């Protein structure tokens, strides 16, 4: 769907990028995180006047709300007996699109990147699962289904499966549109803070997970209630 334009993007004639950038997907201390939020807020203020960015972000937020019930149901079934809890893995990070979306939708921004050093557990994981509402988790925590959950999904009625995948596709297109619009105004906007020179230590340790949109995923699912 390269070149797809969401309705809100059509006037801007923005070409939509095919993949989200990896900006900010690395361990980050809270001072840098606060700097990122502040920088993006001030940049977005300059380009949010027409309302198109807020409208796209609200579409994303509303679609995630619709995903919440089935995702929660899957987690209730699979997570209590899981022996390899995905939230312990160390490859989950907010990316730039996550932050743009949360600012534009008026969502309260979580207090920091998921971890400040490579081998920490996610700071939002508690005894009862994720402390964050689904709408403000890193999007990788929303859209992956692990193997156990894929088995359940495959048994769902066809209409449910179609609707579910349509929601994921819609979210994906709005997120790509959001970041494309941002980049069209701020083409150098991802240069600070710089990505650590060596990313070896934060590579996924398990890539055997499914993405409903693109087959095998390059990184894992990270959801847990």
Residues that bind ligand SF4 (CB under 6 A): 75, 78-79, 82, 85-87, 92, 114, 122, 124-125, 130, 132, 137-138, 141, 146, 148-149, 221-224
CB of 80 to ligand SF4, least distance (A): 8
| CB closer to ligand SF4, 43 vs 68 | 68
Residue number with CB closer to ligand SF4 (36 or 86): 86
Min. distance of Cβ 16 from ligand SF4 in angstroms?
Answer: 26
Q: Would you tell me how many other CB atoms lie within 10 Å of the CB of residue 208?
A: 10
Considering just the CA atoms, what is the radius of gyration of the chain in Å?
17
Q: What share of the chain is helix, strand, coil (3-state, %, to 5)?
A: 50, 5, 45
Instruction: Say how far residue 143 (Cα) sits from the centre of its chain.
Output: 8
Nearer of residues 14 and 164 to ligand SF4, judged by Cβ:
164
How are beta strands 210-211 and 215-216 bridged, if at all? antiparallel
Give the torsion through C-alpha atoms of 106, 110, 113, 119, to 10 deg.
Answer: -150
Q: Which is nearer to ligand SF4, 73 or 185 (CB)?
A: 73
In the bound state with ligand SF4, the residue whose beta carbon lies nearer, of 5 and 150, is 150
| DSSP 8-state secondary structure symbol assigned to residue 144 | E
Question: Which residues are CB-contacts of 142 (< 8 A; sequence separation ≥ 6)?
Answer: 64, 67, 71, 134, 223
């Amino acid at each position: 769907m390269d070149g797809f334009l969401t309705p809100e993007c059509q006037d801007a004639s923005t070409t939509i990028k095919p993949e989200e950038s990896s900006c900010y997907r690395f361990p980050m201390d809270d001072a840098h995180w606060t700097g990122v939020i502040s920088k993006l807020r001030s940049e977005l203020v300059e380009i949010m006047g027409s309302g198109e960015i807020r409208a796209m972000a609200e579409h994303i937020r509303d679609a995630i709300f619709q995903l919440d019930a089935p995702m929660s149901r899957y987690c209730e079934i699979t997570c209590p007996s899981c022996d390899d809890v995905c939230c312990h893995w160390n490859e989950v990070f907010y990316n730039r699109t996550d932050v743009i979306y949360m600012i534009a939708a008026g969502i309260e921004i979580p207090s920091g990147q998921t971890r400040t050093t490579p081998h920490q557990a996610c700071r939002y994981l508690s005894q009862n699962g994720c402390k964050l509402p689904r709408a403000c988790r890193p999007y990788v925590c929303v859209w992956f289904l692990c193997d156990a959950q894929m088995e359940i999904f495959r048994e769902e009625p066809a209409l449910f499966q179609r609707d579910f995948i349509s929601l994921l596709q819609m979210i994906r297109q709005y997120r790509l549109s959001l970041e494309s619009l941002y980049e069209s105004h701020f083409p150098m906007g991802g240069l600070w803070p710089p990505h650590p020179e060596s990313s070896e230590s934060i590579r996924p340790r398990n890539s055997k997970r499914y993405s409903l949109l693109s087959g095998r995923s390059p990184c894992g699912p990270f959801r847990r209630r």
